Amino acid sequence: DDTIKILNEDKSFENFDKTVNVALLQTSATSSQKERLYRASSLLERAATQIGVPELALLASRVQLDAFTKVKEEIDKMVTELNRQQQDEIEHRDWCIDELNKNNRSTEEQYDIKENLQAKIADLEKTIDYLTKEITATTKAVADMQEQMKRASENREGENADYQQTVTDQRLTQMILDKAHKRMQQVYAMLQQREEPKPGAPHIHTSGNHTDPGNGPARFTKYEQHAGGSRVLRMLETIMADSRKMEDEAITAEQDSQSAYENFMKDSNKAIAKYTETIVSMKGAKARAEQDLVMAEGDLKATVATLEELHDTNGALHKSCDFIMDTFDARQAARAAEVDALKEAKAILSGAK
């Protein structure tokens, strides 16, 4: 038994591979060695069937053909490779999770940016449209006001010309009436002087009877002043008073009209200045809004391009990751079972089981 045990040790087999003829080893193999080979081969075949790994079935065949040392080296290589695949797959899975999460977060952020930019563009377009209409309306208001000022100036000139003519006419009328009045006064005075009664020669008074009138003092009719001349003078005075009143009223109306005109022009100029300032301000705001609109449209275009890139990246990630993510647990379990089977087979070949 001790001899067989010594011969079955791994070191003995390794040395036999180098120094003893293979045919001699085959003929000297004990039933214990054959049992170990059979058990290891059976184990690998069952694992190959259960896990579905053809490499294990191939290794099971080689167990019965190759030397122990060679098979165990192959098992070690396979275990190392499988462990590396396990770790690579874990790292790939973690990378996929991280990249997909990053892609989703970036996509959500870009969609938020897109929505904000679209809302900003809509607001800017609305603002530009409003400012355009306001600028047009205010410009028209200034033009209308200037037209009103022009008409007011023309009307003022006409009113002033009428005023000048009225004053001239009334003053000429007053001058003519004054002359007529003075002349009438002179004529009336002369008439009064001519019609005054003059004293007669003295005579003897004789009484009259039914046949002789006698020679008593002569009887004179009562003298009356010319009432018509007085009425004419009063009429002339009334007309002159009316004329002076019309002149005064014309002067007052002219002063009122001039004052109203000056106030209107002053207020209109103030309003035009304010409107002009508003127009300048609105044009500046419109220019800034148009500049912001160009920038926002550029940002929106860039955001859409970024979203397209993110969608492409997402597609590539799913193409690279979906299979691994969907089959990760099963693949990890299968590979772990394969590693366990290989380790168990090696243990059998090494005599540990």
Give the tens place of pLDDT for each residue, 137-168: 999 999 999 999 999 999 999 999 999 999 99
Residue scoring higher pLDDT (53 or 90): 90
Q: pLDDT by residue (tens digit) across 290-336?
A: 999 999 999 999 999 999 999 999 999 999 999 999 999 988 888 88
Q: How far is the first Cα of the chain from the last one, in angstroms, to the nearest whole number?
A: 18
pTM of the model: 0.58
Whether 307 and 110 have beta carbons less than 8 Å apart is answered as: yes
Quote the pLDDT of residue 16. 45
- 3-class SS letters over 186-246: HHHHHHHHHCCCCCCCCCCCCCCCCCCCCCCCCCCCCCCCCHHHHHHHHHHHHHHHHHHHH
Q: Can you tell me the distance from the alpha carbon of 5 to that of 44, in angstroms, rounded to the nearest whole number?
A: 25
Least confident of 84-88, 182-186, 211-215: 211-215
> What are the distances in angstroms from CA 89 to CA 80, 86, 211, 330, 337?
14, 5, 182, 12, 16
What tokens were used for 54? Answer: 């053809």
Query: How would residue 103 be classed by pLDDT, with cut points 50, 70 and 90?
Result: very high
How much of the chain is helix, strand and coil, in % rounded to 5? 85, 0, 15
- Residue 18 above 60 pLDDT? no
Quote the pLDDT of residue 228. 61
| Among 174, 91, 106, residue whose Cα is nearest residue 310 | 106
Tell how far CA 194 is from the center of its chain. Answer: 103
Residue scoring higher pLDDT (191 or 225): 191
Quote the pLDDT of residue 21. 43
Q: Can you tell me the distance from the alpha carbon of 170 to that of 239, in angstroms, rounded to the nearest whole number?
A: 10
Quote the pLDDT of residue 72. 74
Neighbours of 302 (CB within 10 A): 13
Whether 30 and 8 have beta carbons less than 8 Å apart is answered as: yes
- Residue 337 above 60 pLDDT? yes
| Burial (Cβ within 10 Å: 0-12, 13-18, ≥19) of residue 273 | exposed
What tokens were used for 348? Answer: 């059998």
